[in-house]
Amino acid sequence: MTITELGLAAQSASRALAASTGAQRNAALSAMAEALAAQEQDILAANELDMQAAAQNGMSQSLQDRLALTPSRVEGMRQGILELVAAPDPLGLVLGGGVRPNGLRIQQVSVPLGVIGMIYEARPNVTADAAALCLKSGNAVILRGGKEAIHSNKAIADCLRGAAASAGLPADCVQLIGDASRESARALMRANGLIDVLIPRGGAGLIRAVVEESSVPVLETGEGVCHTYVDAAADLAMALDIAENAKCSRPSVCNAMETLLVHEKIAPAYLPRLAERLAKYPVELRCDAASLPLCGGVPATEDDWAAEYDDLILSVKIVASLEEALAHIARYGTKHSECVVTGDYAAAQAFLQAVDAAAVYVNASTRFTDGGEFGLGAEIGIVARQKLHARGPLGLRHLTSYKYMIYGDGQVR
């Protein structure tokens, strides 16, 4: 099918979803969760085809980790859908309004966005997450995954489409573009009048391409050049634990730390111990001139400060002050997640106020920037970094808009 055909089918499905009840959408979600369990072996077999191709094509281990599905990850997808069943209905909420002097009763009511387009890379779980979130919020979705996960995505999408239909909702509320070429992505970016909003989810190159090339409104997510600044007043043991977790717990995700900034007063005591800890993974350290003798890594280049490695690589820089750390973050950060480790209340508050990012931490790992960890439930995008409509983890409420409903009894103007 062409993008136009997919878009028209999605628009028809979105009208049916907008008219559906919360109970109907929850029934469809429950059917989706059951279908994932019933078809787990088919999904894993499809994923194995993608994993074999990834290995043959030399895909990095961190990207293979993103691509891989296991029984526990399929179960995680299923549990995520069941959590949405239990979540409050985001539609039909009265957000504001009142009665005007002329007697008009005005209500501002939450409604679906309509048709959402998703462009994403080698994460097949996004197929299930996005489909379920869109259905819960009354939106149809057109999914365009990466070629690396084409078999996995098709198996999951077919499973979910069948489940939606079995529950009485249109199968076309979930559609997957079978062609993972650049041309299909460009067509989706140009589908004005068919798609209401486009959400890219992936690496910096993908996000940048969609933002720059799309004529459809874009809800920008992703790209995390996240920093941890270890202040002079930091607790050493805490700073070691936070840095290790932020870099090593899952280096391929966008909320992992990519650059470590360390105050010069604490660096001699801190950096050798950190280097010893990180060596067991092992993490490659790319250091400025001041930190190199303390870490035993390799010299950093200018490009390293702006790099999102998504791997076991960490840039390290020694700074003379909080102000220097803030200036570095302002220059190289991507407004995703930033952390300060300090026991100085004034320094913590200054960091919180000065850093322009969706999530700013004091004495905690940046790895917590996640819809589930924030109590928002499943998310369609890890972090929106812009300031209009949504910022931070993108959950159900961010997939709604509103319209005004006005009740009168014959008023004219």
Paired residues of 317 in beta bridges = 261
pLDDT at 394: 77
Closest CA to 219 of 210, 228, 232, 209: 210
Distance CA(250)–CA(369), nearest Å, equals 13
Separation CA 364–CA 360 (nearest Å): 9
Q: What is the DSSP string of 69-106?
A: --HHHHHHHHHHHHHHHHSPP-SS-EEEEEE-TTS-EE
Partner residues linked to 141 by β-bridges: 116, 174
Distance, CA of 195 to CA of 109 (rounded, Å): 21
Which pLDDT does position 285 carry in this prediction? 98
The per-residue pLDDT for range 307-351, each reduced to its tens digit, is 999 899 999 999 999 999 999 999 999 999 999 999 999 999 999
Are residues 240 and 221 in contact, defined by beta-carbon separation less than 8 angstroms?
no
Residue 125, token pair as written in the block: 């779980």
Q: Tokens standing for 229?
A: 């600044």
How is residue 76 written in tokens? 């995680």
Task: Confirm if 290 and 265 have CB atoms less than 8 A apart.
Answer: no
| Distance between CA atoms of residues 283 and 309, nearest Å | 11
pLDDT digits (tens, 9 = 90+) for 150-207: 999 999 999 999 999 999 999 999 999 998 888 999 999 999 999 999 999 877 788 8
Helix axes 182-189, 204-213, angle to 10 degrees: 50
Total Cβ atoms within 10 A of residue 263:
23
The pLDDT assigned to 372 comes to 77
Whole-number pLDDT of residue 12: 97
Residue 290 has a pLDDT of: 97
**pLDDT in the model for residue 201:** 84
- The secondary structure of 216-263 as a DSSP string is S-B--B----EEEEE-TT--HHHHHHHHHHHHHS-TTSTTSEEEEEEE
Rg over alpha carbons for the chain, rounded to the nearest Å, is 23
pLDDT at 374: 84
The owner of tokens 């989810």 is 201
Diameter of the chain measured on Cα atoms: 81
- What is residue 177's three-state secondary structure? coil
Distance (Å, rounded) from C-alpha 336 to C-alpha 222?
8
- The stretches of 249-400 forming alpha helices (DSSP H) are 267-278, 292-295, 322-332, 345-354
pLDDT, position 222: 67
DSSP for residue 124: T
Q: In what order do the strands lie in the sheet with 313-319?
A: 298-299, 284-287, 313-319, 257-263, 226-230, 337-341, 359-362
**Per-residue model confidence (pLDDT) at position 92:** 96
Residue 135: its H or E element? helix 125-136
Interstrand relation of 313-319 and 197-201 (parallel, antiparallel or unpaired)? unpaired
pLDDT for 387: 66
What pairs with residue 229 in β-bridges?
261, 340
Instruction: Phi first, then psi: give them for residue 337, nearest 5 degrees.
Output: -140, 135
Residue 169 has what pLDDT? 98
Which residues are CB-neighbours of 75 under 8 A, at least 6 positions away?
Answer: 37
**Residues in CB range of 179: below 8 A, 6 or more apart:** none
DSSP 3-state percent helix, strand, coil across the chain (nearest 5): 45, 20, 35
Mean pLDDT, 10 residues at a time, the chain of 413 residues: 94 97 98 98 97 93 89 95 94 96 97 96 90 97 95 98 98 94 92 94 81 89 88 98 97 93 98 97 97 95 95 97 98 95 98 95 95 77 70 83 96 95
Structure tokens at 54: 């990834």
